[in-house]
Amino acid sequence: MSLFSSIDHAHMQRALVLAERGRFTTKPNPVVGCVLAHGERVVGEGFHQRAGEAHAEVHALEAAGADAKSATAYVTLEPCGKTGRTPPCADALICAGVSRVVVACEDAHQHDGGAVERMREAGIVVEHGLMRAAAREANIGFFSRVERGRPFVRVKLATSIDGRTALANGDSKWISCEASRHDVARWRARSGAILTGSGTVRADNPQMTVRMDDDACFEPPLRVVLDTGLAIPADSIIVNGEAPTLLVHDEDARVPSHFRQQERLGLPAVKGRVDLAALMNELAKRGINEVQVEAGATLAGALFDAELADELLLYQAPTLLGDAARPLLAGIDIHDMRERVDLDLLEVRQIGSDLRLRLRPRPPIFDDGDTFGEWLDGPDTEVDAYYAALGRKPGAVGYDDQDRYVRVRKDGSHEILSDPDLLNRERDDDPDSDRRG
């Protein structure tokens, strides 16, 4: 039985809608919305607008004025308890005299600020978990950065109906329609960085900037060019200074004189290529929550092969390019159907004459329909089978023996997806959970 009423759900849904208003401007902060209400009556609303400025709760409290007293605050992310560039929101809620705070999802990095404890000590009822999944999805990049130590990576590709992304000579202007290109601009605007490769720069000489078809405000994303040998032409548009640009190269590469004043990042090379995992870690350190990849089949394929691609944003045009044209992804070597990369289809939408598909790699699911014996030596119990499977099957997701939520990499090591203390809190707050501490 849910702890939350239909009124609670309606107000939190409104808070999530408000949060989206800051989608293009809050980076590197998360998007957050807040609604203050007495029952059905809304007395104040707000959303976080820019990093360094007032948070959603403060805007809502200012709108509510004296009506904030004894109100319920619906907040999409746990209120902050520490003083950063702005005072703690928890203290503002206490001073305003709200009686109840409903939080959609927790922020593990706020726990040491003691926000929840202080609010409860002040007599405020604090509840968690209302529409948690939607709230985490709204900040999927933020949570990726703070929990996994790397940004959420979205690979954008335009393809013909026969799965081709460019002619054999590299020409790809234009596969997608004009409406799709306008749509891409909005995905760029929400990203902290746009990643491309030197091959795309040489072939297309792109700007990789955000050109919106309305007056929406946005923070320009960092343009990141993967150029192992720093070989792109000096007059490439992408280094024209119109937007911040970072050249990423082999740390041992010779730096041409024309790039010595350009912001650069040297990283170790693996088999002649810059280490993509190291690049993502460095971008996370720079506060990048989401990376949009706009590159050719080689870099896109390398990201999928390295298990660094979190989402595929695919624009499919009603055209044919033929079997000599370049493929969607290159370098993915599959010889057995059990090695195929399955994707979950999140959304299909028509954009102009194209179809836009959003897909995410599907982790293997262990249930009664799976046959563990295909890749196990027959453990004695179902639990042993699960952990043996988790330990050996690339892409598998689940809890390891230290109660960490992990994904198995191709080399057999485990990528930690979420902090165990946070997961335990989520389970404790979930009324439908059968796990008890």
- Which of the residues 20, 40, 57, 219 is marked catalytic? 57
Which H/E stretch holds residue 17?
helix 6-19
382 is catalytic: no
- Would the CA dihedral through 267, 270, 271, 274 be positive or negative? negative
Token code pair at residue 418:
């979420």
Contacts of 206 (CB under 8 A, 6+ apart): 196, 200, 237, 238, 294
Instruction: Please answer whether residues 363 and 396 qualify as being in contact, where contact means their C-beta atoms are separated by less than 8 angstroms.
Output: yes
Q: 157 has which bridge partners?
A: 314
- What letters, b where the CB count within 10 A reaches 16 and e where it falls short, cover 381-407? eeeebbebbbeebebbbbeeeeebbbb
Q: Residues, the chain, total?
A: 437
Strand residues in 167-317 grouped as ranges (E): 193-197, 222-226, 245-250, 264-267, 269-270, 273-274, 290-294, 311-316
Q: Which DSSP string corresponds to 154-181?
A: EEEEEE-TTSEEE-TTS--TTSS-HHHH
Distance CA 49, CA 20 (A): 10
DSSP, collapsed to helix, strand or coil, labels residue 113 as helix
Distance CA 305, CA 411 (A): 12
DSSP, collapsed to helix, strand or coil, labels residue 253 as coil
Residues classed as catalytic: 57
